Chains A and B, each alone.
Chain A
Amino acid sequence: NAGVTQTPKFQVLKTGQSMTLQCAQDMNHEYMSWYRQDPGMGLRLIHYSVGAGITDQGEVPNGYNVSRSTTEDFPLRLLSAAPSQTSVYFCASSYGGQGPTNEKLFFGSGTQLSVL
C-alpha cells in the first residue's frame, strides 16, 4: 500500500508562476486535506474535502485552489506564487466521520516549496 503520495518532493518557483501540488491516496478515504508547515507556526489547514465533489476552506486558503473530482486525488493549485507561500506542504487523508479508526489522519511525506 502506497498510502498518501505527494509529488513533487521539492519545487522552486519564481514569483507569479503557477503550479499544482499533487496528492493521491489509495486507501479509499473520504476525507482529504492540505496543511502548510511553517517554522514557529505548526501546521495550518489550507483546504479540505469530505468527499468527491465537496471542498471547503481551512484557516489559510488565500492564494490556493483545490478540487476533488475523484476519491483518490486532491490537488492543490497555487494560482500566482508569492514568497509568503514558501513552506512545506502536507496532504493528509482519513476515512472520515467519528471513531478511532475514522479519525486517524494519514500524512504524505510533504512537498518543500520555495518561491523566489
Chain B
Amino acid sequence: AQRVTQPEKLLSVFKGAPVELKCNYSYSGSPELFWYVQYSRQRLQLLLRHISRESIKGFTADLNKGETSFHLKKPFAQEEDSAMYYCALSEGGGGNKLTFGTGTQLKVEL
C-alpha cells in the first residue's frame, strides 16, 4: 500500500532563511505527488503538483524517484508562509483519491 512520510511535525525558520519541507513516499506504481497547504483559518488548498513542474509562491518541489522523495523548497521564507503543509500521493488515474502525510507545521519567525 502507498505511504507518505513527513518526518517533521514542526519546522521553525527565520524570515529570509531557506525552507525545505521533507516528504518521502512508498508506492509500487508511478506516483503523482502534490503539496497542499492550510493557512490559519483557511481551507486546505492545492499548492503545487509535481507533474506541472511549477513554482507557486516561490515554492518548488522536485520528484526524485531514486530517493522516493518530493521535498518542498523555498529559497527565502516569508512570514506569510507560516502554515500547515501536507504532502499527498495519488494512486494514479488522477489526483482525486489521495494519501496524505501527517503534515508539517511551518513557522516563520521574524
Contact = CB atoms under 8 A, between A and B. Distances in A.
A112 B49 CA distance: 28
Contacts, number: 68
Interface stretch (A68-76, A78-86, A94-102): A94-102
A108 B38 CA distance: 12
For chain B, the bracket of interface size reads: 20 to 34
B32 to A, nearest CB: 7
B102 A45 contact: no
A92 B97 CA distance: 10
Contacts of A103: 32, 34, 49, 90, 94-96
Nearest to A102: B94
Contact of B9 (A40, A45, A104, A108): A40
Contact of A104 (B4, B46, B97, B103): B46
Nearest to B43: A107
A89 interface: no
Q: Is the contact region of chain A dominated by helix, strand, or loop, or is it mixed?
A: loop
B100 A48 contact: no
Nearest to B97: A48
Contact of A45 (B6, B49, B93, B98): B98
B11 interface: no
A42 interface: yes
Contacts of A94: 94-96
A40 B100 CA distance: 12
Contact of B97 (A58, A100, A108): A58
Contacts of B34: 103
A12 interface: no
Interface of A: 31, 33, 35, 40-45, 48, 50, 58-59, 90, 92, 94, 96-100, 102-105, 107-110
Interface of B: 4, 6, 9, 32, 34, 36, 43-46, 49, 51-52, 86, 90, 93-103
Top 3 nearest A-B pairs (CB, nearest first) are A103-B95, A42-B102, A43-B100
